[in-house]
């Protein structure tokens, strides 16, 4: 008689001790090293009484900083190796969705205790939440107007900037600061826990969306959940993209399943966290329209008008409720332009301006900021022209709608005035269901590795250092090659849930 399969903790323990759990154990080690190294080399507070009380302030200076940096970067390397190892297994022999989900929690657990990593944005979030808590309008004034200890840790360029986030996230930040006051450490930990629902929604939605369009759920999880950009940047760095992406993907999954109102509500809430999620809504109208045609035998124009009107009504209702609860208006939309303060090489307009300045400056005088302004204007024009064309082009099937969202998000990330590493998790979440060939997986691995290595743990980047750029590029090429050359899977006859990339993909 066959013994029953283990469940719950017994299954998790068996997974952790077995061969399938080896990448999980390696990534756990990497996460522990990152957490330890982050105490000195991460985005720690400027004046940290916790480190001082533990007599660990030495980790932030001199030889202590070197030790911390080695630990943190060693952890990043170990986690990247674990992710690539899991990717090779996925391509060659397949990995179950359960193994992917269990691995996620092994990698995440140590990071729940870490300082903010690769970004100081969490301090801005807390300061903006404190504004609403203390009776200020975060869409009208910057954190500098509310004199408190939280300001000590906010990056100077954001102290005078109004909040560019929607009412849902401002409510979350307000809730956190109401509970912990101006306690930065407790606020950071609680804010990170508030991002967990986004990760849970993404784990739930990504495989469902992938299977709906003929993809593999395990591959989707590897691309958009276990990706170090998500584990380290979104969760370790405490970014509200985690909430936005999870809500958006869950909304897409519900819409594909025919639950259009619920799907639209979730996407609207995602927009109320961060505006980028709005790119998904027009494409979901096509999905709703097709379902109305099939279920109610409506003509295409009537189904389109009905779906559009219903979608707009749901969206407005959600925003009215959330804005009313927060007691704010739409002023956050005007703050979206605040990203122009960021100058790096992660968008095409800014990269072109930097190259023009670097190369042209050798021959003649270049007004960098004039060139930057011109390239950014051109970038905005490209976005404005591309989005309606993509919306019209990708309208015929659910897979096309998802492809349109992916392209729309990629165009926005590439041509907005400025971007940061975690912005690329927007298109990655959608692409995870579509780009599942071995070649696509290898490219995603290479790109994600480059983005992961080019940024520094304190939130700065190494794009102006040729040594850093060459090192990141070498790591990216190694990651791409390791997966591109992974042996094809052997012929399979079984029908279990362990599925890899088809041979020859």
340 CB-contact burial (10 Å; exposed 0-12 / middle 13-18 / buried 19+):
middle
Mean pLDDT rounded to a whole number for the chain: 87
pLDDT (tens digit, 9 = 90+) per residue, 94-117? 899 999 999 999 999 999 999 888
The DSSP letter of residue 484 is H
Beta partners for 499? 95
8-12, 287-291, 319-323, range with the lowest pLDDT: 8-12
- The 10 Å CB-count burial string (b at 16+, else e) for 43-79 is bbbeebeebeeeeebebbeeebeebbbebbbbbbebb
Separation CA 234–CA 241 (nearest Å): 7
In the chain, the number of structural domains is 1
> Is residue 184 a part of any domain in this protein?
no
Range of the domain at 48: 22-115
> Is residue 55 a part of any domain in this protein?
yes
Q: Of residues 332 and 379, which shows the higher confidence score?
A: 379
> Is residue 430 a part of any domain in this protein?
no
pLDDT at 337: 62
pLDDT (tens digit, 9 = 90+) per residue, 341-359? 677 778 899 889 888 887 8
> Is residue 40 a part of any domain in this protein?
yes
Q: Which two structure tokens, joined as six digits, stand for 351?
A: 């990269």
pLDDT (tens digit, 9 = 90+) per residue, 8-35? 788 888 888 888 899 999 999 999 999 9
Q: Do residues 436 and 501 touch, judged by C-beta distance below 8 A? A: yes
Let me know how long the chain is.
505
Q: Match 């409720």 to its residue by tokens.
A: 321
What's the pTM? 0.90
Separation CA 346–CA 357 (nearest Å): 16
pLDDT at 495: 43
CA 308 to chain centre: 28
pLDDT (tens digit, 9 = 90+) per residue, 425-437? 999 999 999 999 9
Q: State the pLDDT confidence band at 500, using cuts at 50, 70 and 90.
A: low
> Is residue 154 a part of any domain in this protein?
no
Residue 141's nearest CA partner among 157, 128, 125 is 128
Across 370-391, average pLDDT: 94
Q: Of residues 226 and 418, which shows the higher confidence score?
A: 226
Q: State the pLDDT confidence band at 340, using cuts at 50, 70 and 90.
A: low
* Those residues with Cβ within 8 angstroms of residue 459's Cβ, 6 or more apart along the chain or in another chain: 43, 118, 119, 120, 155
> Is residue 51 a part of any domain in this protein?
yes
504, pLDDT greater than 50: no
Q: State the pLDDT confidence band at 460, using cuts at 50, 70 and 90.
A: confident
- In 3-state terms, what secondary structure has residue 447? helix
Whole-number Cα distances in Å, 212 to 94, 96, 205, 255, 400 = 19, 17, 11, 11, 12
């Amino acid at each position: 008689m066959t013994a029953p399969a283990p469940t719950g903790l017994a299954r998790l323990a068996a997974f952790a001790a077995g061969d399938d759990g080896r990448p999980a154990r390696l990534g756990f080690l990497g996460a522990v090293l990152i957490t330890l190294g982050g105490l000195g080399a991460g985005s720690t507070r400027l004046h940290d009484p916790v480190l001082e009380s533990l007599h660990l302030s030495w980790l932030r200076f001199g030889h202590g900083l070197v030790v911390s940096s080695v630990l943190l970067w060693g952890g990043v390397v170990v986690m990247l190796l674990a992710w690539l190892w899991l990717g090779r297994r996925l391509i060659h022999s397949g990995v179950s969705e359960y193994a992917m989900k269990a691995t996620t929690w092994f990698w995440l657990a140590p990071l729940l205790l870490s300082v903010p990593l690769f970004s100081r944005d969490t301090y801005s979030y807390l300061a903006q939440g404190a504004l609403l808590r203390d009776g200020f309008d975060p869409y009208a004034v910057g954190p500098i107007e509310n004199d408190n200890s939280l300001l000590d840790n906010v990056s100077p360029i954001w102290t005078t900037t109004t909040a560019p986030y929607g009412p849902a996230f401002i409510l979350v930040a307000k809730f956190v600061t109401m509970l912990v006051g101006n306690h930065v450490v407790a606020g950071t930990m609680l804010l990170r826990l508030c991002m967990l629902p986004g990760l849970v929604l993404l784990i739930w939605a990504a495989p469902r969306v992938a299977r709906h369009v003929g993809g593999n759920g395990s591959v989707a999880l590897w691309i958009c959940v276990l990706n170090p950009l998500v584990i380290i940047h979104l969760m370790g760095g405490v970014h509200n993209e985690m909430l936005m992406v999870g809500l958006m993907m869950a909304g897409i999954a519900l819409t594909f399943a025919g639950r259009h109102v619920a799907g639209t509500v979730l996407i609207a809430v995602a927009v109320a966290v961060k505006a980028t999620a709005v790119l998904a809504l027009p494409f979901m109208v096509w999905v709703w329209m097709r379902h109305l045609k099939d279920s109610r035998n409506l003509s295409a124009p009537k189904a389109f008008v009905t779906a559009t009107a219903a979608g707009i009504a749901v969206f407005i209702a959600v925003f009215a409720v959330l804005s009313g609860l927060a007691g704010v208006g739409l002023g956050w939309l005007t703050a979206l332009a605040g990203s122009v303060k960021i100058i790096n090489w992660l968008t095409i307009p800014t990269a072109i301006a930097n190259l023009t300045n670097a190369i042209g400056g050798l021959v003649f005088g270049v007004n960098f900021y004039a060139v930057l302004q011109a390239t950014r204007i051109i970038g905005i024009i490209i976005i404005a022209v591309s989005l309606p064309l993509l919306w019209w082009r990708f309208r015929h099937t659910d897979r096309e709608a998802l492809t349109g969202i992916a392209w729309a998000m990629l165009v926005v990330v590439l041509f907005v005035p400025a971007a940061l590493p975690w912005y690329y998790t927007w298109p990655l979440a959608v692409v995870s269901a579509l780009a599942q060939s071995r070649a696509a997986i290898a490219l995603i691995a290479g790109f994600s590795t480059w983005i992961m290595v080019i940024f520094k743990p304190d939130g700065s980047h190494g794009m102006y250092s040729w040594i850093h750029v060459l090192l990141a590029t070498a790591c990216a090429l190694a990651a791409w090659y390791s997966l591109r050359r992974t042996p094809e899977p052997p012929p399979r006859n079984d029908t279990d849930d362990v599925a890899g990339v088809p041979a020859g993909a």
